[in-house]
Amino acid sequence: MNAPAQPRRPIESGVPDPFPFMHPVMKKNYGNWDWHDRPRPGVLRHVARNGDMIWTVKAGTQRQMDVFSVRKLCEIADTFAEGYVRFTTRSNIEFMVSSQDKVEPLIEALTAAGFPVGGTGNSVSMISHTQGWLHCDIPGTDASGVVKSLMDMMYDEFIKEEMPNRVKITTSCCQINCGGQGDISINVQYTKPPKINHDLVSKICERPAVVARCPVAAIRPAMVNGKPSLEVDEQKCVCCGACYPPCPPMQINGADSTKIAVWVGGKHSNARSKPSFHKLVVANLPNNAPRWPEVAEVVRKILYAYKDNAKDWERMGEWIERIGWPRFFELTGFAFTKHHLDTWTGSRKTMNMSAHVHF
Ligand code: SF4
Ligand code: SF4
């Protein structure tokens, strides 16, 4: 007799079970940790209810790592850290050890290999960044490269805890911004609608997919030179770049159209004040690889204006709300322009609010 038909099971591809990779002391005390402190920047000590302790040493990495760096980190973990590591969402690596006398040799080994120890408490933690040129199909700039340039400039603020509060910085390599909200955010900004390479559209693009992608319904099918192509209503286009991934002939990247903007005051947490969206401060910075010096200079000015003027425990956005935006622009020396005013009232009319695409 045939076995009864089984329903098709979903394929789970979420995070793997962490327990097989967990340090034994963490496994033993799962759910039973009592308190923790930070004996020095970059080190956390957790104490369990039964008195067990574990030390976590956090080090910065370049995130997109070559095999030699990965091997080096594994070698350090095996030699100095009982063989257990984990990565944080901000691309830091954390080593766990169960006795205090292993902490200093581990820090020395990491520092000697070029991995700075820090990123805890009121420091500038590692910048959370998107995929950049290596992985994503639409970036207008790199992510790791920008991060490396900025973290070189802020190295001291990573290894010390001398900021008024923690500083979370994000970067995003296209205007869709999978980088998220940050105290300081560095985001690509497209300044012009895409130019269409009509010869390629019919060969490469699925036109319905491109039309459906546009958040403001600015793309229409059109016949150009007798071939099926597309056209863009430039009055509606908000230059978001969403049409470029399904249709690379919608060419939006270029030296004169791909710029970088810096935003401030975003916050995810509910601590002390509500979560907030970041707001534009400087636009139109050149996309100047490989070191992005203009972006680094803007970030440096914002960071040190905050460090020198905020009260203890104020996050960037809270500090600006207290002193007011005119004072913030005065302290940082940036110009306040008409581009800072959000006057767009057309969203109700132009938003692509229908689930139906008429093609
Ligand atoms: S920010 Fe944009 S280009 Fe960069 S990884 Fe995210 S979706 Fe891709
Ligand atoms: S998807 Fe974005 S960039 Fe492309 S036409 Fe629409 S608004 Fe413009």
For 260, left (φ over 0), alpha (ψ -120 to 50), or beta? beta
Domain count, the chain: 3
So what's the pLDDT on residue 344? 62
CA of 64 to the centre of ligand 1 (A): 15
Q: How far apart are CA 44 and CA 307, in angstroms?
A: 24
Find the CATH number of the domain harbouring 102: 3.30.70.3340
Domain boundary among 203, 222, 251: 251
So what's the pLDDT on residue 343? 67
Looking at the structure, do residues 36 and 98 belong to the same domain, yes or no?
yes
CA of 218 to the centre of ligand 2 (A): 6
Looking at the structure, do residues 23 and 99 belong to the same domain, yes or no?
yes
DSSP 8-state secondary structure symbol assigned to residue 140: S
Tokens in use for 293? Answer: 């010096």
Q: Is the CB of 193 under 6 A from ligand 2?
A: yes
So what's the pLDDT on residue 89? 86
Bridge partners, 86 (sequence order) = 94
Q: Is residue 6 part of a domain?
A: no
| Segment 234-293, tens digit of pLDDT | 999 989 888 988 899 999 988 889 999 999 999 888 888 888 888 999 999 999 999 999
Looking at the structure, do residues 328 and 186 belong to the same domain, yes or no?
yes
Mean pLDDT lowest among 33-37, 88-92, 108-112, 309-313: 88-92
Looking at the structure, do residues 219 and 80 belong to the same domain, yes or no?
no
Domain boundary among 209, 229, 251: 251
Looking at the structure, do residues 209 and 328 belong to the same domain, yes or no?
no
Looking at the structure, do residues 147 and 183 belong to the same domain, yes or no?
yes
Q: How far apart are CA 35 and CA 112, in angstroms?
A: 31
Q: Is residue 118 part of a domain?
A: no
Q: Is the pTM of this model over 0.75?
A: yes
Q: 139-148: b or e for each residue (b if 16 or more CB lie within 10 Å)?
A: bbbbbbbbbb
CA of 240 to the centre of ligand 2 (A): 5
Q: Is the CB of 242 under 6 A from ligand 2?
A: yes
Listed residue (154, 123, 155, 119) closest to 42, CA to CA? 119
What DSSP string runs through 73-117?
A: HHHHHHHHSTT-EEE-TTSEEEEEESSGGGHHHHHHHHHHTT--B
| Segment 163-176, tens digit of pLDDT | 999 999 999 998 87
DSSP 8-state secondary structure symbol assigned to residue 78: H
Confidence of residue 7 (pLDDT cuts 50, 70, 90): confident
Q: Is residue 273 part of a domain?
A: yes
Q: Is residue 125 part of a domain?
A: no
Q: Is residue 318 part of a domain?
A: yes
So what's the pLDDT on residue 347? 54
Determine contact, residues 231/205, Cβ cutoff 8 Å: no
Segment 294-311 mean pLDDT: 98
Tokens in use for 239? Answer: 């230059």
Determine contact, residues 159/41, Cβ cutoff 8 Å: yes
Confidence of residue 217 (pLDDT cuts 50, 70, 90): very high
Looking at the structure, do residues 153 and 105 belong to the same domain, yes or no?
no
Find the CATH number of the domain harbouring 175: 3.30.413.10
So what's the pLDDT on residue 358? 41
- Return the sign of the alpha-carbon dihedral for residues 178, 182, 188, 191: positive
Looking at the structure, do residues 297 and 206 belong to the same domain, yes or no?
no
Determine contact, residues 213/243, Cβ cutoff 8 Å: yes
For ligand 1, atom 7, the nearest C-alpha belongs to 178
Cis peptide before 215 (omega within 30 of 0): no
* Nearest ligand 2 atom to alpha carbon 238: 7
Q: Is residue 69 part of a domain?
A: yes
Q: Is the CB of 133 under 6 A from ligand 1?
A: no
Determine contact, residues 185/262, Cβ cutoff 8 Å: yes
Find the CATH number of the domain harbouring 216: 3.30.70.20
Q: Is residue 173 part of a domain?
A: yes
Helix (H, G, I), strand (E, B) or coil at 293: helix
Looking at the structure, do residues 186 and 285 belong to the same domain, yes or no?
yes
Looking at the structure, do residues 24 and 157 belong to the same domain, yes or no?
no
Looking at the structure, do residues 96 and 186 belong to the same domain, yes or no?
no
Tokens in use for 97? Answer: 């050890």
Instruction: Out of 190, 197, 207, 216, give the residue to mutate to test ligand 2, the one with the largest number of ligand atoms within 8 Å of its CB.
Output: 216
Looking at the structure, do residues 329 and 270 belong to the same domain, yes or no?
yes
Q: Is residue 14 part of a domain?
A: no
For 98, left (φ over 0), alpha (ψ -120 to 50), or beta? alpha
Range of the domain at 222: 195-251
- Dihedral Cα 46, 50, 52, 58, nearest 10 deg: -20
Q: What is the mean pLDDT of the chain?
A: 90
